[in-house]
Amino acid sequence: MAENQNILTAKDFKSDQEVRWCPGCGDHAIMNAIQRALPELEIPKEKFAFISGIGCSSRFPYYMNTYGFHSIHGRASAIASGVKVANPDLSVWQITGDGDALAIGGNHFIHVVRRNVDINIILFNNEIYGLTKGQYSPTSKFGAITKTSPYGTVEHPFHPGELVIGAQGKFFARSIDNNLKLSQKIFVESARHKGASVVEVLQNCVIYNDKTHAALTDREHKEDRTIILEHGEPMIFGKNKDKGLILDADNMRLKVVELGTDYTEKDILVHNAENENPGIHLMLANMRYPEYPVAFGVIRNVKARTYDQSIQEQIEMIQSDSSIKNVDDLLRSGTTWKI
């Protein structure tokens, strides 16, 4: 966008609708980060389409001054797939939550990832059903006490990254609502990735699941409990940059080590988000506090053919070879006879 009047700002993406999320909800920050990321993409505003399902986060499209579709529970992946295949020129974003994407929409979610439709899926993970007022979700921690699990859940939670990689996902990143800068940077990268990109944003529900991610946001300790991965950089973290990750090959697992006498920077794993083999990516995505730091940043970013691109190419190829050019040709193709 060379011309000045076409340069967009975050403000251009705000709609005239009153934002109705609870005060203090993590959704506000995530929306701010997206609104700041979009101008960086240098895509005309009319080419964005935001598609959502049902849930608190799914109200998102109403607040964006772009094309938007607030659909039905769980089905945003399917609707977004249709939008993208119909018009591959659009930048299609799916806004979803842990219930919408991983419970009622679990099937569509894994299939959109498997097909690698070029959609940016932003998964707001607050580990709770907010809009229905506090029931456990498929990502609630084992034993979580909620309105439908007064004695604690007896279900093992889904880990979105594990699911994405299991579904042959090519892009998975993680951020957290209160780190706007990091989120903004990841959103830009996810949008630029061609294919289904999933960004899990850990989000706080102030009303029904407050402080569920508190261990990772605590000012004093957050740098020791999280690691921000950068492609090509060693996996070092901690307030004093004194910890790192190595591969404990004997046990085929990652291990946290202190930098100093036993280990130096050259022993530390270097992050390769572009590695096609998802082994390390899966280990990184599955790191959980307190045993490990929780990984933020782009964990996996691998190039692959997209569904929308393949379908387009197939049509072009078949069309150039076919003698059927219109419906009149079609109706007269095959066996016909005259009377």
Partner 1 sequence: MSKKADAIEKEDVVIRFSGDSGDGMQLTGTLFSDTSAFIGNDLSTFPDYPAEIRAPQGTIGGVSGFQVHVGKTKVKTPGDYADILVAMNPAALKANAKWVKDGGTIILDEDSFDERGLKKAGFKTDDPIKEDKLDRFNIIKAPISSLTKEALKDMGLDPKSILRSKNMFALGMVFWIFDRPLNYTEDFFESKFKKKPLVIEANKKVLHAGYNYAETKEHMTPSYNVSPAEIDKGTYRNINGNIATAWGFIAAAEKANLKLFCGSYPITPATEILQELSARKDLGVKTFQAEDEIAGICTSIGASFAGDLAVTTTSGPGLALKSEAIGLAVMTELPLVIVDVQRGGPSTGLPTKPEQSDLMQALYGRNGESPVVAIAASSPSNCFHYAFVAAKIAVEHMTPVILLTDGFIANGSEPWKIPDMAEYPSIKPPIVKEVKEDWKPYAREVEKLARTWAIPGTKGLEHRVGGLEKDELKGSVSHDPLNHQKMVNIREEKVQRVNKFIPKLEVEGEDSGSLLVVGWGGTYGHLVTAVNQLQDDGKKISLAHFNYIKPLPENTAEVFSKFDKIVVCENNMGQFANYLRMTNPEFKYLQYNKVQGLPFTIVELVEHFQKLLEE
In whole angstroms, the minimum distance from the beta carbon of 322 to partner 1 comes to 4
By CB under 8 A, the residues from 241 to 270 that bind partner 1 are: none
Could you give the 3-state DSSP secondary structure of residue 238?
A: coil
Considering the rule CB under 8 A, would residue 335 count as an interface residue with partner 1? Answer: yes
Q: Please work out the total of residues on this chain that contact partner 1, with binding judged by CB under 8 A.
A: 58
Q: Give whichever of 78 and 298 is closer to partner 1, judged by the CB atom.
A: 78
Q: How far apart are CA 193 and CA 306, in angstroms?
A: 10
Considering the rule CB under 8 A, would residue 337 count as an interface residue with partner 1? Answer: yes
Q: Please select the residue that binds partner 1; options are 154, 249, 252, 339, rule is CB under 8 A.
A: 339
Q: Give whichever of 83 and 284 is closer to partner 1, judged by the CB atom.
A: 83
Torsion of CA 188, 194, 196, 201, to 10 degrees: -10
Considering the rule CB under 8 A, would residue 327 count as an interface residue with partner 1? Answer: yes
In whole angstroms, the minimum distance from the beta carbon of 129 to partner 1 comes to 18
Considering the rule CB under 8 A, would residue 69 count as an interface residue with partner 1? Answer: yes
User: How far apart, in Å, are the Cα atoms of 176 and each of 29, 49, 238, 268, 302?
Assistant: 9, 23, 17, 25, 22
Considering the rule CB under 8 A, would residue 1 count as an interface residue with partner 1? Answer: no
Q: Please select the residue that binds partner 1; options are 19, 22, 72, 247, rule is CB under 8 A.
A: 72
Q: Please select the residue that binds partner 1; options are 3, 46, 220, 250, rule is CB under 8 A.
A: 46
Considering the rule CB under 8 A, would residue 318 count as an interface residue with partner 1? Answer: yes
Helix axes 76-86 and 307-321, enclosed angle (nearest 10) = 40
Q: How far apart are CA 246 and CA 266, in angstroms?
A: 10
| H or E segment to which residue 183 belongs | helix 180-192
In whole angstroms, the minimum distance from the beta carbon of 34 to partner 1 comes to 15
By CB under 8 A, the residues from 74 to 103 that bind partner 1 are: 75, 77-87, 89-90
CB-count exposure of residue 317 (10 Å: 0-12, 13-18, 19+): exposed
Backbone phi and psi for residue 174, each to the nearest 5 degrees, phi listed first: -135, 140
User: How far apart, in Å, are the Cα atoms of 227 and each of 65, 214, 235, 241, 278?
Assistant: 34, 15, 7, 10, 19
Give the footprint of partner 1 on this chain (CB under 8 A): 15, 17, 44-47, 49, 51, 54, 61-62, 64-72, 75, 77-87, 89-90, 107-108, 111, 311, 314-315, 318-319, 321-322, 324-328, 330-332, 334-339
